[in-house]
Chain A
Amino acid sequence: MDWWVLLAIQIAIIVLAPFLAAILLGLDRIITARMQNRVGPPVLQVLYDFFKLIGKKPMLLNRPQVIFAVLYLMFVAFAFVLFVLGLDLIIIFFAAAAGSVFLAVGAFTVRSPYSHMGANRELLQIAAYEPVFLLALLLIGIQAGSFNVADLYAVGDLMILLPLVFVALIAVLVIKLQKSPYDVATAHQEIVSGPYIEYSGPYLAITKLGHWYEFALMLGVITLFFNSDNIVVSIIVKIALIAVAMLVVQVIDNVTARLTKERMLKFTATFGIIVIAANYAIIVVLQNVGVI
């Protein structure tokens, strides 16, 4: 493939991915509605919300609030760009984590107690899922022998060897997508929308775009799990993996009520780490026996 074709594809992915993520979130809202016996909004609803927010009159409380929202967007977008360029997974992880922290810092710059509560909970969420996410990426890297995303796409058997890591990533996805039972930061009926409460209009739209990039990055990590030489098979299985992960998250969202932040911390950290450790132990045993 010519270098400019590859560059064009990469730029197209970087620009279009958040909007595809938004359409996926729209589908998510429809499926949630159907599970609750409702009709639900149109597929493009999330995009309508976004463009409406852009068109609203800007109202800001202080400048740092906006700066941190933009930093959040820049860091998660930067992480996604690194992912698309096929660079180091660990750098990607830290860039995305820094982005999430900036969101919490932005919420701390205003005086609203709900915003502070949301920011505290956002930091707790980061403390809950980041170690699990990092361990998952480490195990993927160890198994593939490289942390470069470009190399990882050349490895075929990650799903067969690391099924439990995939399960742990679903626990991370539940928190990242702000779904029950661990949507403690944005808890709608409880602290209205937590860290987002004091953002309005176009500034809220910036945080939304950041959230889509974060989501797109998570989906990117999920697509690492299956690769095949046949590109059609590869794409179909990748889409199937995303669909399975999203459906599981939706079912979990619809059958659970919100739990406390302490429960989130205990469950996600212990469950995630135990599951990933078990996966690694099984691989080591199988390698010693000589099966793989």
Chain B
Amino acid sequence: MSIIEKSRLKSPWLLHFDTGSCNGCDIEILACLTPRFDIERFGILNKGNPKHADVLVVTGPVSKRAKERLKRLYEQMPEPKLVIAVGTCACTGGVFHNCYNIEQGIDKVIPVDVYVPGCAAKPEAIIDGVITALGKLQKLQEESHKKKGAK
């Protein structure tokens, strides 16, 4: 594993976007940043800037208004990037399922890597979601190495 690939797993910078959530999941994400949960020990920083971010953490069902913004934020993030849907609403639409102003979960708009269910999702579950996403990235990196080796 090259030094860059190792560093990718050690330094995921987050961008948090609320697509119309009730703020329940957002509070839990902010709780992750507090000394009690201290996500900085995994190298995670909350960046608030798509151009610096590696992981897009989305909460809430996607409202029709937020859809375009979500797409644009996703497109502004440089590759490689990961998307985590936090909370039941972000995964499927939750209680807002089939509402006239709601897309059914964020995977209808952008590709999602990890789903963290819960209403609201616990901080432990959110941290686990980020680590799972990094595990997925590691697997992808290893697979691409194998493909290169096979060639």
Contact residues, B92-134 vs A (CB, 8 A): none
Q: Are A52 and B41 in contact (CB under 8 A)?
A: no
Interface size for A (C-beta < 8 A) is 33
* Docked complex Cα distance between A198 and B78 (Å): 12
Identify the closest chain B residue to A57 (Cβ): B79
Q: Are A204 and B52 in contact (CB under 8 A)?
A: yes
- Asked if A38 is at the interface (CB within 8 A of a chain B CB), the reply is yes
Say which one of B1-9, B21-29, B56-64, B66-74 lies at the interface with A. B1-9
* Docked complex Cα distance between A29 and B48 (Å): 19
CB distance from B75 to the nearest CB of A (A): 10
Q: Are A40 and B40 in contact (CB under 8 A)?
A: yes
- Asked if A42 is at the interface (CB within 8 A of a chain B CB), the reply is yes
Most B Cβ at <10 Å: residue of A45, A52, A204: A52
* Docked complex Cα distance between A42 and B43 (Å): 8
CB distance from A226 to the nearest CB of B (A): 34
Q: Are B49 and A48 in contact (CB under 8 A)?
A: no
Q: Are A51 and B3 in contact (CB under 8 A)?
A: yes
Contacts A33-B40, A38-B35, A52-B10; is A197 near B78 (CB within 8 Å)? no
| Residues in B neighbouring A58, C-beta threshold 8 A | 78
Identify the closest chain A residue to B10 (Cβ): A48
Interface string of A14-48 (1 = CB under 8 A from B): 00000000000000010001001111111001011
CB distance from B67 to the nearest CB of A (A): 22
- Asked if A192 is at the interface (CB within 8 A of a chain B CB), the reply is yes
Identify the closest chain B residue to A46 (Cβ): B11
Q: Are B38 and A42 in contact (CB under 8 A)?
A: no
Interface string of A45-79 (1 = CB under 8 A from B): 10111111011111100000000000000000000
Contact residues, A241-262 vs B (CB, 8 A): none
Contacts A52-B10, A193-B52; is A40 near B4 (CB within 8 Å)? no
* Docked complex Cα distance between A47 and B3 (Å): 10
- Asked if B149 is at the interface (CB within 8 A of a chain A CB), the reply is no
- Asked if A147 is at the interface (CB within 8 A of a chain B CB), the reply is no
| Residues in A neighbouring B6, C-beta threshold 8 A | 48, 51
* Docked complex Cα distance between A47 and B5 (Å): 13
| Residues in B neighbouring A189, C-beta threshold 8 A | 48
Q: Are B41 and A38 in contact (CB under 8 A)?
A: yes
* Docked complex Cα distance between A18 and B10 (Å): 20
| Residues in A neighbouring B51, C-beta threshold 8 A | 59, 197-200, 204
Identify the closest chain B residue to A29 (Cβ): B40
Of the candidates B3, B49, B79, which one forms a contact with A197 in the assembled complex, judged by CB atoms under 8 Å apart?
A: B49
CB distance from B136 to the nearest CB of A (A): 16
| Residues in B neighbouring A188, C-beta threshold 8 A | 48
Of the candidates B4, B47, B48, B49, which one forms a contact with A52 in the assembled complex, judged by CB atoms under 8 Å apart?
A: B4
Q: Are A41 and B78 in contact (CB under 8 A)?
A: no
Q: Are B11 and A54 in contact (CB under 8 A)?
A: no
Of the candidates B7, B38, B54, which one forms a contact with A39 in the assembled complex, judged by CB atoms under 8 Å apart?
A: B38
| Residues in A neighbouring B3, C-beta threshold 8 A | 51
Of the candidates B4, B8, B38, B79, which one forms a contact with A38 in the assembled complex, judged by CB atoms under 8 Å apart?
A: B38
Of the candidates B38, B41, B48, which one forms a contact with A192 in the assembled complex, judged by CB atoms under 8 Å apart?
A: B48
| Residues in A neighbouring B7, C-beta threshold 8 A | 47-52, 55
Q: Are A37 and B35 in contact (CB under 8 A)?
A: yes
What residues of chain B have their CB less than 8 Å away from a CB belonging to chain A?
3-8, 10-11, 13, 35, 38, 40-43, 47-49, 51-52, 54, 78-80
What residues of chain A have their CB less than 8 Å away from a CB belonging to chain B?
29, 33, 36-42, 45, 47-52, 54-59, 188-189, 192-193, 196-201, 204
Nearest 3 pairs of A and B residues by beta carbon: A55-B4, A51-B7, A200-B51
